[in-house]
Structure 1
Amino acid sequence: MAKITIQREARLPDDLRVARSLSATHLGPRILFFSGGSALNDISRHLKRYTYNSCHLITPFDSGGSSQVLREAFDMPAVGDLRSRLMALADETDLGQPDIYRLFTHRLSKTAEQEDLKAEVDAMIEGKHPLIKAILRPMRMLIQSFIQDFAKAAPESFDYHNASIGNLILAGGYLSNDRLLEPVLFLMSKMVDVRGTVRAVVDENLQLGVDLANGQRVIGQRRISGKETSPITSSISRLFLSDGKKEILPREVPLPKRNRKLISQADIICYPPGSLFSSVVANLLPAGVGRAIAASDVPKVYVPSLGHDPEAFGLSLADQVSALLAPLRADAGEDTPTHRLLSHVICDSGVDRSICAEVTARHAIPCHRVPLVDGTPDRYDPARVCEMLVSMV
């Protein structure tokens, strides 16, 4: 069988391809994202109008908020970003499972007494809480069993303040499924009719670390992002995986076969907006990611964040592209042509032409300026981003 590569010119947006996606979402393109955090959630919610086949490989290395409390209690990967992306892609209409959706997105109070918060969780286990009572069997029984598995394993000191019930359910399902994320992510996807595929890029309980240009080393996602600590004041020169103390080499963290298959089947690969290192580059560190991307003959697009990203301190757009390429080339081979790993950079039309010109000069790939903002200068218009992506397939 002969294999040929066909290239075409793309109009952004392509009205015909957009209309086709809107009319046949079940047959929509397989757009694969490497992401984490919440930056892509608005775009993901809108993407459900165009395709039910998007794929999201999410970093499980978050070390802040409710996820960190669970990580410390159960020595498990972070689930908060996974849960929030599942909810962004869930069918939120009355045809979906609105009662289950409400439970999964419910948070406990930030200010109530610890005893009252635990009592609220106990009421869910017993089937007395109104959010649980609204769910029909057998879904209700399965969800209760996951919450019960969580509660049985939770230490007496567990802090319930501002806990996401969806995160607690994920933790319980993780514990009751041989400490594996994939089974409970699959079940939660089915419970709320998720319009796409959401997976952890690897099922590993690890931290992120960075080396800074000033020689300092910082370990922990929340310290890197500066969201819960003081922001870093030197540019990041390298990102790596860590067990919390020392660096873990990529070969010790291989990309699972199921995720390699997702990459190979994608119609387009997107490095989307989000915290540059902890949300995007983090997903590119496991062994096999670079090789899987290089083996694919589809468009590979970087859509950089708008506004201020503390993790991109001191980095130009061309530098950000270098940060994406570094772990990919380390895996695929330093002589891998750039276009095999990243074929296009798509910026909003408000970005200065000289910034795009530097990207092309340094990396020999096109940097396009496309109208992607409508009204708010530091926020992408979700419809425009979705239409741009489906037009490139």
Structure 2
Amino acid sequence: MRIKIEREVRVPDPIKLERYRRTPDLGPRILFFSGGTALKKTSTELTQYTHNSIHIITPFDSGGSSAVIRNKFKMLAVGDIRNRLMALADQSVLGNPAIYKLFAYRLPKEADDTELRAEFEQLMSGEHPLVRDIHAPMRKIIRNHFIQFADIMEDFNLRGASIGNIILTAGYIGNRRHIDPVIYIFSKLVEVRGIVRPTVNMDLHLAAELEDGSFVVGQHLLTGKEAGPITSSIKKLWLAENLGDSTPCEVEIREKLDDLIRSAELICYPLGSFYSSVVANLLPKGIGNAIKGNGCPKVFTPNTGTDPELMGHSLTDQINKLLYYLRKDDLDNIAIGDVLNFILVDSVNGIYPGGVDKNEINKLGIQVIDCELISEESAPYLDPALLSKALLSLT
């Protein structure tokens, strides 16, 4: 299939893909607004072609082990950040496989407090097998993070704790609650091939009004993973300061994030939980203006199958909702074409609520790119290799 951006482009483009594969260090800056898990395999696949992808990650997770850390230290969620860093890490022998193995480790859920404290002491002292396998001076850097965490942990529940999350938390607290320095150190330790940043460096939560008039505060109550699926469609999403209070708060993106967005060669609103992963990233003030300020192509790659957050939403509804949040900075001056140009679908193999209404989508000035994105192995979900090749071809 051929589409037109500023020149004739082929999707997928084998010549362009081979060029990227040979020189991934010079690969394109594809920027994603996403959460931590749905795009994990695609992120790893992309590292074969580019080491310059940019990942803006939601720091609003309020469930699981992230909730334990957030409740204890009153901080942004680092679990999805860690997940994406690990997805982009060099897992070959040329990277740091021993550090990768340590950061991917979780303390056992079935151990008692005494056993957990004893294992943590081993990690901190360097006697733990996973730490002993790491060469100096990196071993000392990691041990220092364990020591920093020990100074602040008090009665922290270590059961099932992610070592990667512990390292990020210790570095965050140790750097006066700045997340960028510890992400930088973490990235160097596991040879991350890309850039990962949270949308905001603040302790905030997602809040939503449902169509039935009720309010929900907390990402874990929206995703359908921990508290069961919501029973009414999401009407509106915003940010709140506390789990117990749905009062909206306004936060503006940092200049660093603005610069990153404007530097991208392709901007993608990818698969993942529609509201808590994609839309959540668009809530801070300044996101829409930064996207408008970048003339690169912008593409939406919707989920196939079922997303509990999309109850009552057709594919066209999703596009209209996405456009609302992308343009909310300045509705009168941000045109649709400033923030969204293409939607990438596989209408033959994909399952899209309400189907793919190309006429309605085209009326918005958005071009539908319909190509193979789902393989026999990945069905009914998008295939990471096929999706990566399609996105790379658009750059």
- What is the TM-score with the length of structure 2 in the denominator? 0.94
> Structure 1, unaligned stretches of length 5 or more?
1-5
1:240-255, aligned counterparts within 5 Å? 240-244=238-242, 245-250=245-250, 253-255=251-253
Q: Deviations over 1:187-231 (max 9, x none)?
A: 000111100000111101100011111111100000011210021
Indicate conservation of the 8 Å contact 1:240/1:247, yes or no: no
Map 1:317-356 onto structure 2 (within 5 A).
317-350=315-348, 351=350, 355-356=356-357
Cα distance, 1:345 vs structure 2: 0.6
Query: What is aligned with 2:192?
Result: 194
SS at match of 1:92: coil
| Cα distance in structure 2, aligned partners of 1:308 and 1:185 | 33
Q: CA deviation at 1:382?
A: 1.1
Q: Distance in 2 between matches of 1:51 and 1:313?
A: 35
Which of 374, 383, 386 is the equivalent residue of 2:385? 383
CA distance in 2, matches of 1:339, 1:148: 51
Instruction: Assess if the C-alpha contact under 8 Å between 1:359 and 1:365 holds in 2.
Output: no
Distance in 1 (alpha carbons) for counterparts of 2:332 and 2:249:
17
Matched, 1:46 2:81: no
C-alpha separation in 1, matches of 2:189 and 2:240: 34
- Describe the superposition over 1:33-77 as per-residue Cα deviations: whole angstroms up to 9, x where unpaired: 000120000000100001000000001000111111000110010
CA RMSD of aligned residues (A): 1.5
Name the counterpart of 2:101: 102
Instruction: Give distance in 2, aligned partners of 1:255 and 1:168.
Output: 26
Task: Tell me the alpha carbon deviations over residues 230-257 of structure 1, each in whole angstroms, 9 at most, x when there is no partner.
Answer: 210111111100012133333xx11111
Match of 2:118 in 1: 119
User: Are 1:59 and 2:61 an aligned pair?
Assistant: no
Q: Aligned with 1:108: secondary structure?
A: coil
Q: Which residue of 2 aligns with 1:369?
A: 370
> 1:176 pairs with 168, 174, 177, which one?
174
Q: Deviations 1:335-368 (Å, cap 9, x if unpaired)?
A: 4221111110101132479523254156331122
Paired with 1:335 and 1:261, the residues of 2 have a C-alpha distance of: 20
Identity of aligned residues (%): 44
Mapping 1:8-87, distance limit 5 Å: 8-87=7-86
Deviation, 1:151, is: 1.9
The SS at the match of 1:211 is strand
Q: Distance in 1 between matches of 2:150 and 2:105?
A: 17
Find out whether 1:213 has 2:208 as its counterpart: no
The 8 Å contact of residues 32 and 56 in structure 1, kept in 2 or not, is answered as yes
How many angstroms apart in 2 are the aligned matches of 1:145 and 1:345?
46
For the 8 Å contact 1:73–1:155, the answer to whether it is kept is: no
SS of the aligned residue for 1:160 comes to coil
Provide the rounded CA distance (Å) in 2 between the counterparts of 1:291 and 1:70: 33
Amino acid at match of 1:115: T
User: Aligned equivalents of 1:155 and 1:42: distance in 2?
Assistant: 36
Counterpart of 1:3 in structure 2 is none
Provide Cα deviations, 1:120-147, integer angstroms capped at 9, x if missing partner: 1111111110101111111111111111
Q: Distance in 1 between matches of 2:326 and 2:193?
A: 29
Tell me, in whole angstroms, the C-alpha distance in 2 between the residues paired with 1:74 and 1:371: 45
- State whether residues 348 and 372 of structure 1, in contact with CA within 8 Å, keep that contact through their aligned partners in structure 2: yes
In 1, Cα distance between the equivalents of 2:332 and 2:228? Answer: 35
In structure 2, do the counterparts of structure 1 residues 356 and 37 end up closer, same or farther at CA, with 3 Å as the change threshold? farther
Provide the rounded CA distance (Å) in 2 between the counterparts of 1:302 and 1:102. 34
User: Corresponding residue for 2:394?
Assistant: 392
Task: Name the SS of the counterpart of 2:268 in structure 1.
Answer: strand
Amino acid at match of 1:387: K
TM-score (norm 1): 0.95
Q: How much has 1:114 moved relative to structure 2?
A: 2.0
Query: Runs of 5+ in structure 2 lacking a partner?
Result: none
Which residue does the alignment assign to 2:288? 290
Secondary structure of 1:148's partner?
Answer: helix
Corresponding letter in the other structure for 1:71: R
Shift of 1:333: 2.5
Determine the C-alpha separation between the residues in 2 that align with 1:323 and 1:32.
Answer: 20
User: Which of 246, 262, 265 is equivalent to 2:260?
Assistant: 262
SS where residue 10 of structure 2 aligns? coil
